[in-house]
């Protein structure tokens, strides 16, 4: 085994990675890759049952509950309180995580925030979500300066086949939806949780990247 491969397999040896939304989908895929590379993970999620299942799969971990969300609807029709709640969960949730974790992070640590493709490729009925995602990306760029030498980047997943999507659609609807998405992508397929997890590990491991917003969307237009 080459030294480079050996180093990659132990890339997170002795390190702790905190993952919100870590009980399933992209978060769980990232946790698997971190653990496979010698790391220790702290998972956050809303479902105690999924967190328990993740713990049993990954081995001993610390589990903390958190929240995330999405919202669709034309601005003139949306209840303002629901829009505020999306900011509370997706933007302020990440904001608070950083605020209270920053002082505990070593200089070689990094933060990867979650935005989304809606921020720069908006669609009808996504004004609030686009605004939240745009705010997260602006936060990442600014915190890259404020928290240096801790690095801060953001990931913007496209339409990824995850349990979150599957929970909204029947099996037939999901199959039809992802078939349409695959045809629209230059890469000819939908994204997977592992696709995004690999990009997250890249941002964590590349010590020369900070203030970046990385699209993982298959070339979606």
Give catalytic residue positions.
115
Structure tokens at 59: 């081995």
Q: How far apart are CA 40 and CA 184, in angstroms?
A: 38
Query: How big is the CA angle at 197 (ends 195 and 202), to the nearest 5 degrees?
Result: 100
58 with 32: CB under 8 angstroms?
Answer: yes
Q: How far apart are CA 131 and CA 185, in angstroms?
A: 24
Q: Cβ neighbours of residue 10 under 8 Å, at least 6 residues apart?
A: 37, 38
Tell me how far CA of residue 55 lies from CA of 34, 64, 157, in angstroms.
14, 12, 25
């Amino acid at each position: 085994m080459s030294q480079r491969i050996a180093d990659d397999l132990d890339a997170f040896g002795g390190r702790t990675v905190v993952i919100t939304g870590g009980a399933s989908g992209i978060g769980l895929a990232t946790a698997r890759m971190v653990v496979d590379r010698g790391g220790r993970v702290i998972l956050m999620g809303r479902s105690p049952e999924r967190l328990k299942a993740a713990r049993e799969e990954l081995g001993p971990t610390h589990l903390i509950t958190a929240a995330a969300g999405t919202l669709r609807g034309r601005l003139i029709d949306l209840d303002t309180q629901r829009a505020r709640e999306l900011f509370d969960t997706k933007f302020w949730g990440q904001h608070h995580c950083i605020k209270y974790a920053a002082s505990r992070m070593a200089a070689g640590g990094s933060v990867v925030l979650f935005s989304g493709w809606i921020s720069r490729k908006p669609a009808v009925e996504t004004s609030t979500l686009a605004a939240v995602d745009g705010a997260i990306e602006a936060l990442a760029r600014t915190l890259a300066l404020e928290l240096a030498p801790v690095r801060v980047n953001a990931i913007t997943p496209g339409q990824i086949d995850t349990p979150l999507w599957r929970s909204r659609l029947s099996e037939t609807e999901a199959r039809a939806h992802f078939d349409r998405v695959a045809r629209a992508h230059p890469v000819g397929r939908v994204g997977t949780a592992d696709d995004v997890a690999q990009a997250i590990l890249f941002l964590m491991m590349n010590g020369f990247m900070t203030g970046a917003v990385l699209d993982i969307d298959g070339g979606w237009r």
